[in-house]
Amino acid sequence: MKFPASYYNPISLIGSIIAGVNIVIILFFLIAMMFFNVGGSYIGLYIYMILPIFLISGLIMIPIGMIRRTRRLKRIGEDGVKKGLKIDLDDKKQRNAMAVFVLGSFVFLLLTAVGSYEAFHFTESNEFCGLLCHTVMEPEYEAYEGSSHARVKCVECHVGAGADWYVKSKLSGMYQVYSVLFKKFPKPIPTPIENLRPAQETCEKCHWPEKFYSYRIQNEKHYLADSANTEWNIQLKMKTGSEHIAMGLVDGIHWHINKDVKIEYIASSSEREFVPWVRYINLATGDSVVYQDIYDTMDPTLLDSLEVREMDCIDCHNRPSHDYLPPQEFTDLLIASGQIPVELPEVKTLAMEVFNNTYADRDTARQVIEKRTLEFYSSNYPQIMEENRKLVDKAIEGFMYGFSKNIFPEMKASWDVYPNHIGHIEYNGCFRCHNGNHMNSDNQVISRDCNLCHTILAQGTKENYKSTSINESLEFIHPVDIDESWKEYACFECHRYLY
Ligand code: HEC
Ligand code: HEC
Ligand code: HEC
Ligand code: HEC
Ligand code: HEC
Ligand code: HEC
């Protein structure tokens, strides 16, 4: 088959070879992926993004070569070149070229359509968001994999439906690619996200506030840092909704997102952990009440300069899928699940000691933790080391498992930098407003009543477990004797710095 003379030049020929080779590779990968189910998370990157760049560059080289060649032929006046653009289908060479051009364009357009559709899908996939920039996204991805949202795609919360947010996310995505390539990204990645899509447009696609539950029973298991790792249980009835679901969100915890309620606040730190100013607006009556923290006061001009934020789901559920647990919490969970043996004396105390250190990377952590654990049991419990060494080895594996799921030294990501606003034990959480110090002009405070948000149905050790009926509440007993100080201090003021 012959092509116009202008085609026969090095640039066009090299372009054709590049394009041809890439088409073959792409088809090969596609077939391999479809029929033999091979290829990991990166194959999409090659098929839909990298190889097409070469393919298109090859295709562009063909006309460039031809134009250069034509110009040259014109200059030296060789034959076969006519002035202007005339297509003569009687000429066999031109007919061939034309057929190849039409067929090629058709195939190319088809591939482009399929390719861009797949490229779109690929950039929306969890592999693209979570695995491609492995070190950067590792903490978020690991935590996500262990969350209730592990089957919800990253983009369903971070982008949502609609073209405008798609474009916005791709624009900021381009900056992110740049910052990863040139290592300009911050460690840890700052939270909160500056322009996260409003929760109503993402969370409420799946969670419908009209149909929230009334209550939720929560069982918590703790192990004290004593020689027996004493088990301490607490059962709470969380008052998430109203007494009866038909009443809507008239009271209970989800009252804050009632259609008639608007709560605005000003945070004094960028992580939104301290809230000196709150305004509650009743949208039905138009009344509004301002509460200010009597201890954490702020200069009015400074207050005016800060962002007023309207409360939504994220102001409580800020860690729905990236929850880095504090060591005391994940250790309790691992003891409860048996991954850290409860029979091993002082294992909770030791866990708190080793997790209280910071490590440069995971390998160093493993070395230090392993060494310290072996040393601890050798010198304090030599009999266990001799007769039951496997318990100690199991504990080390348990420690490292907890570490690998919750602490990410490379990205400096851990519970300490990513507070969870639900609750009030290790973080300020609900007590950002409900600490009993936020007062309005009538000297009323936002309630800190222990029965406002939950009741305690049962508590105590295994041997001494006290319980009551579902409509009653026990008075809280602090697991270790700290006198009445839990009534005066916020729990997090001790618990954040316990170990
Ligand atoms: C259920 C919804 C949801 C899903 C699914 C989800 N995220 Fe998030 N993500 C959030 C919320 C909420 C925040 C915190 C927002 C805030 O506080 O401003 C967040 C924060 C982040 C941050 C900022 C750092 C931080 O921890 O605050 C990164 C990075 C991130 N997500 C990446 C991902 C990746 C990658 C995936 C998929 C593997 C994913 N997210 C899936 C809801 C989600
Ligand atoms: C694509 C659907 C989807 C989206 C979007 C979504 N979720 Fe979920 N969510 C789920 C599913 C599914 C579950 C698991 C339900 C279960 O375990 O019964 C869940 C569970 C939860 C739970 C209970 C988890 C637990 O462990 O107690 C909370 C709280 C929650 N989601 C909050 C949010 C918030 C906040 C957002 C927005 C940032 C959000 N969800 C976005 C589907 C979604
Ligand atoms: C004032 C804080 C607060 C706000 C605002 C809030 N939640 Fe919750 N939500 C809670 C608490 C506390 C629980 C109880 C469970 C727990 O402690 O994790 C809960 C439970 C849930 C659950 C699981 C139990 C259930 O009732 O189904 C879902 C799902 C949920 N919230 C979704 C949302 C969504 C979606 C929004 C925004 C429209 C929202 N929440 C706003 C505090 C809040
Ligand atoms: C930004 C401030 C703020 C935060 C954070 C906050 N609340 Fe509130 N909450 C309020 C205000 C204001 C009221 C109304 C006080 C009043 O009218 O006395 C309120 C009322 C309540 C009520 C009573 C609702 C009713 O009328 O029955 C419950 C329950 C509640 N909050 C639970 C929580 C929980 C649980 C959290 C943490 C997950 C939380 N709140 C976090 C500001 C906040
Ligand atoms: C404004 C709402 C609110 C108030 C007021 C409040 N709590 Fe809580 N509390 C919560 C929430 C929300 C959680 C659940 C955290 C979670 O889901 O892990 C919680 C959890 C707990 C737990 C279980 C912790 C665990 O991990 O085992 C205890 C115990 C507790 N609260 C005691 C108290 C006591 C005592 C008071 C009174 C000083 C009090 N709470 C006041 C909202 C509140
Ligand atoms: C004066 C400091 C202080 C205050 C305030 C305080 N605690 Fe504690 N808490 C402790 C100490 C010390 C321990 C024992 C730690 C251990 O044995 O691991 C403890 C242990 C606990 C434990 C079990 C241990 C575990 O696994 O985490 C729970 C649950 C607990 N406290 C809840 C609360 C709650 C809820 C509040 C607030 C109402 C509170 N504490 C306020 C000091 C405090």
Among the listed residues 142, 168, 128, the one whose alpha carbon sits nearest the alpha carbon of residue 45: 128
* pLDDT-based confidence at residue 247 (cuts at 50, 70, 90): confident
Among the listed residues 194, 270, 220, the one whose alpha carbon sits nearest the alpha carbon of residue 426: 220
Q: Is the pLDDT of residue 80 over 80?
A: no
Q: Is 265 exposed, middle or buried (0-12, 13-18, 19+ CB in 10 A)?
A: buried
Q: How many angstroms separate the CA atoms of 193 and 321, rounded?
A: 14
* pLDDT-based confidence at residue 39 (cuts at 50, 70, 90): low
Q: Is the pLDDT of residue 17 over 60?
A: yes
Position 39 in a domain = yes
Q: Is the pLDDT of residue 122 over 90?
A: no
Classified as helix, coil or strand, 388 is coil
Position 445 in a domain = yes
Position 447 in a domain = yes
Output the pTM of the full model.
0.87
Q: How many angstroms separate the CA atoms of 370 and 394, rounded?
A: 11
> What confidence score (pLDDT) does residue 48 get?
77
Q: How many angstroms separate the CA atoms of 413 and 409, rounded?
A: 6
Q: Is the pLDDT of residue 486 over 80?
A: yes
Asked if residue 280 lies in contact with residue 434, where contact means CB atoms within 8 angstroms, the answer is no
> What confidence score (pLDDT) does residue 288 get?
94
Position 191 in a domain = no
- Is 63 in the same domain as 114? yes
- Is 302 in the same domain as 432? yes
* pLDDT-based confidence at residue 135 (cuts at 50, 70, 90): confident
- Is 119 in the same domain as 132? no
Q: Report the pLDDT averaged over residues 35-63.
A: 79
- Our count of domains for the chain comes to 4
Phi and psi at residue 249, to the nearest 5°? -95, 50
> What confidence score (pLDDT) does residue 353 get?
96
Domain boundary among 89, 104, 123: 123
Position 201 in a domain = no
- Is 119 in the same domain as 235? no
Position 111 in a domain = yes
Q: Which of 160-174, 209-223, 367-381 has the lowest mean pLDDT?
A: 160-174
Nearest CA to ligand 3 atom 3: 316
Domain housing 170 = 127-185
Q: Is 44 exposed, middle or buried (0-12, 13-18, 19+ CB in 10 A)?
A: buried
- Is 144 in the same domain as 12? no
The Å distance, Cα 236 to ligand 5 centre, comes to 8
Nearest CA to ligand 5 atom 26: 220
- Is 108 in the same domain as 172? no
Pocket test for ligand 4, best of 254, 255, 292, 309 (most atoms within 8 A of CB): 255
- Is 37 in the same domain as 111? yes
Q: Is the pLDDT of residue 451 over 70?
A: yes
Asked if residue 369 lies in contact with residue 403, where contact means CB atoms within 8 angstroms, the answer is yes
- Is 45 in the same domain as 175? no
> What confidence score (pLDDT) does residue 190 get?
87
Q: Report the pLDDT averaged over residues 409-418.
A: 93
> Which one has a higher pLDDT value, 304 or 2?
304
The Å distance, Cα 377 to ligand 3 centre, comes to 43
The torsion defined by the Cα of 18, 21, 27 and 32, in degrees rounded to 10, comes to -130
Domain boundary among 377, 411, 445: 411
Pocket test for ligand 3, best of 207, 208, 237 (most atoms within 8 A of CB): 207
Please state, rounded to an integer, the average pLDDT across all residues of the chain.
88
Among the listed residues 454, 453, 498, 496, the one whose alpha carbon sits nearest the alpha carbon of residue 273: 496
Q: Which ligand is nearest to the CA of 260?
A: 4
Q: Write the CB contacts of 171 (distance below 8 Å, at least 6 apart in sequence).
A: none
The Å distance, Cα 92 to ligand 4 centre, comes to 82
> Which one has a higher pLDDT value, 58 or 118?
58
> What confidence score (pLDDT) does residue 93 get?
81
> What DSSP character marks residue 308?
P
> What confidence score (pLDDT) does residue 160 get?
79
Pocket test for ligand 3, best of 264, 316, 325 (most atoms within 8 A of CB): 316
Atom of ligand 5 nearest to the CA of 449: 5
Position 77 in a domain = yes
- Is 270 in the same domain as 240? yes
> What confidence score (pLDDT) does residue 279 get?
96
Q: Which of 103-112, 153-162, 285-294, 467-476 has the lowest mean pLDDT?
A: 103-112
Q: Which residues line ligand 2 (CB under 6 A)?
A: 148-149, 152, 156-157, 199, 202-203, 205-207, 313, 317, 320
Position 261 in a domain = yes
β strands within 349-440, DSSP E? 438-439
Most confident stretch, 50-54, 105-109, 133-137, 452-456: 452-456
* pLDDT-based confidence at residue 85 (cuts at 50, 70, 90): low
The Å distance, Cα 155 to ligand 1 centre, comes to 9
Among the listed residues 27, 189, 193, 51, the one whose alpha carbon sits nearest the alpha carbon of residue 107: 27
Helix axes 51-76, 10-36, angle to 10 degrees: 160
- Is 111 in the same domain as 36? yes
- Is 296 in the same domain as 443? yes
> Which one has a higher pLDDT value, 220 or 81?
220
> What confidence score (pLDDT) does residue 381 get?
96
Q: Which of 168-177, 185-194, 346-355 has the lowest mean pLDDT?
A: 168-177
- Is 356 in the same domain as 387? yes
